Amino acid sequence: MSAAAGEALAADVLADAPAPRAQERLFGHAALEADLLGDWRAGRLPHALLIGGPEGIGKATLAYRLARTVLAGPAEAHAAHDLSIAPGNPVFRQVASLTHPDLLVLRRVAEAGEEKVPTLIPAEMVRRVRPFFGSTAAAGGWRVCIVDAVDDLNAFGANALLKTLEEPPPNALFLLICHAPGRVLPTIRSRTRLVRMRPLATEEVLAALDHLKGEVGDLDDALLPAAAEASGGSVRRAIVLARGEGMEVRAATLRALEQLPDVRPEELHALGARLQGDRADGLDLFVEAVSDFVAARTTAGAAAGDLGRHRLYRLGEVWEKVRRSAAEADVFNLDRKALVFRVFADLADAVRA
């Protein structure tokens, strides 16, 4: 089942793929699920979990599975072997449609009639947290707030959330999804338990793709093994790689990165042309490949002791510029070819530094 069909564009839902809140299965995290279920049954579950790890590895799916278990009540949890709730259960249907009265989800979603997703979770959405937890639970049990993701809160939103985290009401559960836990405000981190989720093994990604291929549009079966191998443990990235020109975009980006600092202009022209004609997924793959390159270069250089402080600073500076430029290109529909040339000029300068 897919809750993505017919709904507004949202950052937490990949185009033509089922939404995490509608997923019946979670791959690769059985031991973590068992620990969380045991804590819930024993009354040891804290009021706030910071669920951290790379994008696309199941963080949101886990959060919704835990939310369904908590909202379904203790009887359901004591009868279960994991965090599964039957799709026919009313709680499952209400969570999948975001209509459960005791569930609040903060996420980036396009306004009615808009075709662009906002870059931050709107402040007015965050303001709903305090009145939500200040009211009595409709079902007389728990209230759950999912934030997908904490990375998408500005300073106001983070501080507004912090106020309720500091003085949580009884039977309140926060599930804070986070792609980069190190960047979260220390005051938020100190009031949550960090749940680290690891990237999936290649065979786990492949199993997830096999399970999803009937629900995900445009997947090329022949590309699934290669996409799983190149995914870095992310099902989301594997889906993007296995449809459209995903694998070609990644291969073209890697070829250009290997030529730094002297990249052939024709390679950049070809890469820019691919991104120009591809949907937003291609831009994401380009940014991820550059991110992987910068991270690997920085880690290897630091470990070998041959990467000076200046070059470390320059690589980090370039990476921040890449992220900003890519976001602007997506939001304002800027020329992708110009973006590619600008990014590689900055990378070449950093590598030569």
pLDDT-based confidence at 6, cuts 50/70/90? very low
Q: Is residue 225 part of a domain?
A: no
Two structure tokens written together for 352: 């030569």
- Asked which of 174, 196, 218 is the last residue of a domain, the reply is 196
* In a shared domain, residues 263 and 332: yes
Number of domains into which the chain is organized: 2
What domain range is 275 assigned to? Answer: 244-352
* Residue, of 134 and 353, whose pLDDT is higher: 134
Q: Is residue 234 part of a domain?
A: no
* In a shared domain, residues 185 and 77: yes
Q: Is residue 222 part of a domain?
A: no
What are the tens digits of pLDDT across the range 253-267?
A: 999 999 999 999 999
Say yes or no to pLDDT of 79 above 80: no
Q: Is residue 302 part of a domain?
A: yes
Q: Is residue 329 part of a domain?
A: yes
pLDDT-based confidence at 214, cuts 50/70/90? confident
pLDDT-based confidence at 2, cuts 50/70/90? very low
| CATH code: domain of residue 89 | 3.40.50.300
Least confident of 70-84, 129-143, 146-160, 196-210: 70-84
- 247 within 8 A of 218, measured Cβ to Cβ: no
* In a shared domain, residues 152 and 274: no
Residue whose pair of structure tokens reads 């459209």 in the numeric block: 244
Q: Is residue 172 part of a domain?
A: yes
Q: Is residue 69 part of a domain?
A: yes
Quote the pTM value: 0.90
Give φ, ψ of 293 to 5 degrees: -65, -50
* In a shared domain, residues 68 and 138: yes
In the chain, the amino acid numbered 245 is E
Residue whose pair of structure tokens reads 């709680």 in the numeric block: 91
* In a shared domain, residues 47 and 173: yes
Q: Is residue 214 part of a domain?
A: no
Question: What string of H, E and C letters represents the secondary structure of 289-323?
Answer: HHHHHHHHHHHHHHHHCCCCHHHHHHHHHHHHHHH
Give φ, ψ of 166 to 5 degrees: -70, -35
* In a shared domain, residues 116 and 189: yes
What are the tens digits of pLDDT across the range 296-340?
A: 887 776 665 655 566 667 777 888 888 888 878 876 677 899 999
- Asked which of 158, 173, 196 is the last residue of a domain, the reply is 196
Say yes or no to pLDDT of 5 above 60: no
Say yes or no to pLDDT of 277 above 90: no
- Order of all β-strands in the sheet with 48-52: 103-107, 143-148, 172-178, 48-52, 193-196
What are the tens digits of pLDDT across the range 278-293?
A: 556 888 899 989 988 8
How far, in Å, CA of 90 to CA of 93, rounded? 5
Residues 92-106, mean pLDDT to the nearest whole number: 97
* In a shared domain, residues 258 and 137: no
- Among candidate residues 195, 192, 219, 182, the one with its CA nearest the CA of residue 57: 195
What are the tens digits of pLDDT across the range 17-65?
A: 899 999 999 999 999 999 999 999 999 999 999 999 999 999 999 999 9
